[in-house]
Structure 1
Amino acid sequence: MKIAPQKLKTGDTVGVIAPASPPVAEKLDAAVQYLKKLGLRVKIGRASGKKHGYLAGTDEERLRDFHDMFQDPSVKAVICACGGYGTGRIAEKIDFDVIKSHPKIFWGYSDITFLHMAIQKRTNLITFHGPMLSSDIGKEDVHPLTKQSFQQLFQKMSLTLTEDVSPLEAVVKGKAKGELIGGNLALLVTTLGTPFEIDTRGKLLFIEDIDEEPYKIDRMLNHLKMAGKLSDAAGILLCDFHDCIPKKRSESLTLKEIIEDYIVPEGKPALSGFQIGHSSPNIAIPIGAEGMLDTEKKQLMIEPGVS
């Protein structure tokens, strides 16, 4: 049975952490002001202001912030400042009993995908794949729907994603339901063979990525296919693949051709075009919540991620 974290209310404190790379200070400051406008208090992890190469502090410092925010009873949600790289380095050191004992909202995407998979594997907590502070909300021109995604944290609301947000295309026709699982394709592949390997059995798999050339998307989808992750899924959601165009190689397959090579033969209901991930807008969705995919209606319905 999945555990839905408690929704937020005005006056609640949220913890901000940087479990991967360091955030841009000015953009983080701007995003914190947005959280305060939502009526929230903000506690910022100590590693958020540190730099250790391409990491926001040492592994120990980033891990300490993660544990501290979950253990602190005054903190009602843990929101990641940005992605980059580094969450896989701390995953094995996480005390998952701390999360089980203090279930609360956990929010982020991109490199945070590894932490989502770890939490899904070791706890029953629903987490949120959603826009982050420094890398999204702190930008000067933020899409209104990106900001609106945070309303999911304040009310028990179902989502219905349709072509009202972006054009959708039925890759494989049909209906499918199941828990949502997925995130950044490159990070999902890195979980294979680890204790936190993605489990797609009977679930709706969603994938997205950024700045990966088509041949790399090909390689990663082939890896998922050979690992049985595509055939195990009940349905597949193809989200934003931002700037995934040929760069090194002038001759290339298109993303559409790659999808036809890997997704179509599986015969699982599949829709493409969702603005989830490195996109604008960046629509947040609850990982672990039940979803219903209908390619004829071109819609994805998702149950609430909070209680």
Structure 2
Amino acid sequence: MPVIHLIAPSGYCVKQEAAHRGVERLVSAGHEVENQAVIPRRFQRFAGDDNARLSDLSEIAQLSESTDIVLAVRGGYGMTRLLESVDYDAIARRLEQAPLAICGHSDFTVFQLALLARHPQAITFSGPMLAGNFGADDLNTFTWHHFWQALQEPEFTLQWVSDNTPFEASGTLWGGNLSMITSQVGSPWLPNIEGGILVLEDVNEHPFRVERMLMQLLRAGILNKQQAIILGSFNGTTLNTYDDGYNFDVMCDFLRSKLTVPLVTGLNFGHEARTVTLPLGASARLSHQGDMAMLTLSGHPVLRR
């Protein structure tokens, strides 16, 4: 069964009980969970000082081939501090040696995209984390199934209901958390991917803030040089009377009027309990027929049987 190595390069894990519940679930499912000492580690609001959290990333390059998965404990904030100090070359070499699924989302997005910017073949997984997902009060079976599907199947297809005109597109899948991506515009840590399929998600961001960030990506020349854009989950906010009819769907309609490429919504991907796992840097084929979108992914590392 897979060996899972924990890392905590971002915020302190407030929900300690949830993290330990996540470990128990993974162990009960037959997996070995290493490096549990990072769970209680704390310095200010971070999961350890900068050196400790950087060491988590540096250790990835030294993991034996018996390690199958690197799993982030949680997101928060902290990865941005470390970007200049990460040895991306060493991590990429480790990924070339043997399959290794590096998984996380939210704040972890900036590490994943910085690695992809340096090494376009270095595929990581945007998906569940220890505390918030595997340690949830009730484990979401959809999330559990799609996590192992992405890590075990060399090619898999996701389907979901979405409203769009028919189209087909293919390219490199990339993206993750919208706020983290927007924060790196103009920096060397954001991949310069043309003709890709960009997938985005966020949490606790009102639709007008989502619109503002998407407009920044548009004006930076990023959105219209993709083959297509997928919007995942954008949960955690409440509309009020001031919005006067403005909502997420209205925002999407406005964005479509500015785009020259398809915009697809409705994918269960992001901070909600129900989320798919996506290999960032993998080959993707996206199509839309009727009221269904279909995304096929391949070329990513898979666990040894």
TM-score by length of 1: 0.89
Question: What secondary structure, in the 3-state scheme, does the structure 1 residue paired with 2:182 have?
Answer: helix
Q: 1:52 aligns with which of 35, 43, 47?
A: 43
Aligned runs of 1:235-250 on 2, under 5 Å?
235-246=228-239, 250=243
Partner of 1:4: none
Residue 109 (structure 1) aligned to one of 105, 109, 127: 105
In 1, Cα distance between equivalents of 2:63 and 2:39: 17
Q: Quick check: 1:168 aligned with 2:158?
A: no
Distance between the aligned counterparts of 2:256 and 2:198, measured in 1?
A: 11
Provide the aligned C-alpha RMSD in A. Answer: 2.0
- 2:297 equivalent in structure 1: 302
Paired position in structure 1 for 2:224: 231
Whether the 8 Å contact between 1:270 and 1:295 is mirrored in structure 2 is no
Q: Which segment drifts farther, 101-110 or 246-255? A: 246-255
**Structure 1, unaligned stretches of length 5 or more?**
1-9
1:72 aligns with 2:63: yes
Match of 1:7 in 2: none
Question: CA contact under 8 A between 1:238 and 1:273: conserved in structure 2?
Answer: yes
Contact kept in structure 2, 1:18 and 1:45, CA below 8 Å: no
Q: Which amino acid aligns with 2:255?
A: Y
Aligned to 2:78: 86
- Normalised by the length of structure 2, the TM-score is 0.89
Written as runs of structure 1 = structure 2, the 5 A alignment for 1:104-253 is: 104-123=100-119, 124-152=121-149, 155-163=152-160, 167-170=161-164, 173-246=166-239, 250-251=243-244, 253=246
Please state whether the residue corresponding to 1:274 is helix, strand or coil: coil
Unaligned ranges ≥5, structure 2: none
User: How much does 1:32 deviate?
Assistant: 1.1
1:233 Cα deviation (Å)? 0.6
Residue-pair matches, total: 293
Aligned with 1:61 (options 46, 52, 56): 52
CA distance in 2, matches of 1:188, 1:230: 12
State the alpha-carbon separation in 2 of the partners of residues 26 and 101 from structure 1: 35
Identity value in percent: 28
State the match for 1:20 in structure 2. 10
Q: How does 1:218-297 map to 2 (within 5 A)?
A: 218-246=211-239, 250-251=243-244, 253-296=246-289, 297=292
Residues 281, 121 of structure 1: CA spacing in aligned structure 2 closer, same or farther, 3 A cutoff?
same
Instruction: Report how far residue 40 of structure 1 moved.
Output: 2.0
User: C-alpha distance in 1, partners of 2:256/2:193?
Assistant: 14
Letter in 1 for 2:6: V
1:100 paired residue number: 92
SS in 2 for 1:162: strand
1:282 partner letter: T
| Aligned AA (2:78) | G
